[in-house]
């Protein structure tokens, strides 16, 4: 009789599925390919999406993750929160749960917002802050209209905002950005219309991956 898979076995299978999605299938994001090729990925599984209990677990895991980050190095890494038992029926539903989850994480977070970025989601300088550190959030799920966001399971990727600043400091940001957008156009037939450089338009419009309407208002409200 086959034995039930342990949590470690399940996580290993999911990590393998993600690595296949990013590396084997030649994902447009060359930075994602780099961190997976270097195994510089922290991948965690959570049983529910858009809940306060999950917010507490993600916050704890991200604080632990931040403690291990080397902010002086030129190497990159990422934190991926996955929800393998969660199904979403549409991009709208995913977007709603994404912002609900981020709102709950913020409300559980006792540290001040990263002073390098705005906490107003309408501000072009907005970026999400957790544990006093700015993150660029990438929402992904199987129902996404963008192929590059069509991850194996419902997913939130937490990319350190510092890494984009590091690319600018290294003089490689524009080249990396243009390469990703060119590859995304090859995959999809068009560049994701919500993508803008930091400071041009609030990055909150990019988090869900959906082509949000011009009049779209972010539901997030910073409370501290």
pLDDT per residue over 177-213, tens digit each? 899 999 999 999 998 777 766 667 899 999 999 999 9
Tell me which of 73 and 53 has the higher pLDDT.
53
Residue 211 lies in a domain: no
Residue 214 lies in a domain: no
Domain count, the chain: 1
Q: Quick check: 163 and 175 in contact, CB under 8 A?
A: no
| pTM of this structure | 0.92
Residue 40: give the domain boundaries.
Answer: 7-206
**Average pLDDT of every residue of the chain:** 91
| Phi then psi dihedrals of residue 137, to 5 deg | -95, 135
Q: pLDDT value at position 32?
A: 94
Q: Give the residue among 164, 110, 111 at the shortest CA–CA distance from 137.
A: 164
Residue 14 lies in a domain: yes
Residue 92 lies in a domain: yes
Q: pLDDT value at position 199?
A: 63
Percent of the chain with pLDDT over 70: 94
pLDDT band at 6 (very low <50, low <70, confident <90, very high): very low
pLDDT in tens, 87-113: 999 999 999 999 999 999 999 999 999
Q: pLDDT value at position 173?
A: 84
Q: pLDDT value at position 170?
A: 84
The contacts of residue 150 (CB under 8 Å, 6+ apart) are 140, 141, 142, 143, 144
Count the neighbouring beta carbons within 10 Å of the beta carbon of residue 187.
15
Q: pLDDT value at position 4?
A: 38
Residue 167 lies in a domain: yes
Residue 194 lies in a domain: yes
Residue 64 lies in a domain: yes
Q: What does the alpha-carbon distance between residue 116 and residue 134 come to, in Å, rounded to a whole number? A: 8
Tell me which of 83 and 171 has the higher pLDDT.
83
pLDDT at 60 over 90: yes
Q: pLDDT value at position 74?
A: 77
Residue 117 lies in a domain: yes
Count the neighbouring beta carbons within 10 Å of the beta carbon of residue 83.
22
pLDDT at 157 over 80: yes
Q: Quick check: 117 and 126 in contact, CB under 8 A?
A: yes
Instruction: Tell me the average pLDDT across 64-81.
Output: 89
Q: pLDDT value at position 9?
A: 60
Q: What does the alpha-carbon distance between residue 187 and residue 26 come to, in Å, rounded to a whole number? A: 10
């Amino acid at each position: 009789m086959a034995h039930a898979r342990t949590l470690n076995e399940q996580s290993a299978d999911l990590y393998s599925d993600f690595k296949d999605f990013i590396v084997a299938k030649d994902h447009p994001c060359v930075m994602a390919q780099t961190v997976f090729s270097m195994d510089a990925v922290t991948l965690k599984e959570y049983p529910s999406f858009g809940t306060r209990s999950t917010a507490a677990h993600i916050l704890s895991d991200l604080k632990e993750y931040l403690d291990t980050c080397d902010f002086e190095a030129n190497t990159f890494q990422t934190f991926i929160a996955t929800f393998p038992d969660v199904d979403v029926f549409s991009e709208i539903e995913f977007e709603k749960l994404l912002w609900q989850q981020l709102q709950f994480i913020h409300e559980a977070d006792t540290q001040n917002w990263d002073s390098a970025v705005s906490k107003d989601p309408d501000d072009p300088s907005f970026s999400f802050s957790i544990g006093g550190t700015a993150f660029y959030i990438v929402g992904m799920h199987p129902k996404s209209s963008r192929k590059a966001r069509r991850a194996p399971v419902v997913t939130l990727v937490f990319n350190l905002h510092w890494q984009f600043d590091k690319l600018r400091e290294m003089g490689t940001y524009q080249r990396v950005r243009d390469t990703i957008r060119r590859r995304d156009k090859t995959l999809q037939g068009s560049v994701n219309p919500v993508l803008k450089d930091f400071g041009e338009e609030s990055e909150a419009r990019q988090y869900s991956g959906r082509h949000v309407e011009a009049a779209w208002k972010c539901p997030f409200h910073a409370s501290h």
